Amino acid sequence: MAKPVFTSKDATQLLVYAEQIFLKMTENADLFVDPVPDLTTLETNLSAYREAYAEATFRDKRAVILKAQHGEKLQDVIRRLAHYVEGVSAGDEAVIVAAGFRPSRSSHVSLGRTPKPENLRVEHIQVGSGIIRLRVNSWRPARLYRYEYRKKGTEAWESTLHTKSTLALRGLDMLEQYEFRVSYIGSDVTLNYSDVVTAWVI
């Protein structure tokens, strides 16, 4: 498990921790192709917290409050990235370390194997747009949803990780038939795919 560890409220430690994650995930961008949230979001929150930390050095009450607020936002981004890294790593500790996190065993009670997603639907947002909307029944313990697609008749699947049970896919080839499937990613990172759904892109 990629566990974000906030062992201290010390601002310096949080800055160093966030900077380490940003540096490692940037260096290993080939492993983390489409992070959720993206690294720009992490960098923006990191910069905002760094500035708030500097302002709060003079003990101005408002500045101290703002520092705490920016710190909470930064920690939230790190937690969400931890879920993403968990999904990408599939338990591989080397990948977790490559993202700047430390591997750890989950303290959560195991929920057993991730269930098979049901009722995957394909919708056309607007004819001629080439955009496909995928919907699947949500699963509350899911940390991420792994959507996969490929042109019918090909072997390799393209994949994207998302935080929600609905995803709009763009950039597909018009008037081509595609296959789609999805898997939840929970405490058990073993993928368990839905039935494959086939649809034309129009």
Check whether residue 131 and residue 79 sit in a common domain: no
Contact by Cβ (8 Å): 95, 189: no
- Going through the chain in order, the beta strands assigned E by DSSP cover 2-3, 102-103, 121-124, 132-135, 144-151, 158-162, 166-169, 177-185, 197-200
Global confidence as pTM: 0.53
Our count of domains for the chain comes to: 2
Q: Is 129 left (phi over 0), alpha (psi -120 to 50) or beta?
A: alpha
108, part of any domain: no
Question: Are residues 151 and 59 part of one domain?
Answer: no
Local confidence pLDDT in tens for the 202 residues of the chain: 555 655 444 677 888 889 999 999 999 999 898 899 999 999 999 999 988 888 877 667 888 888 889 988 999 999 889 889 888 887 788 888 899 987 765 444 445 678 999 999 999 888 888 899 999 999 988 888 999 999 999 999 999 888 899 999 988 999 999 999 999 987 776 789 999 999 999 8
Identify the pLDDT of residue 53.
82
Are 8 and 94 contained in the same domain?
yes
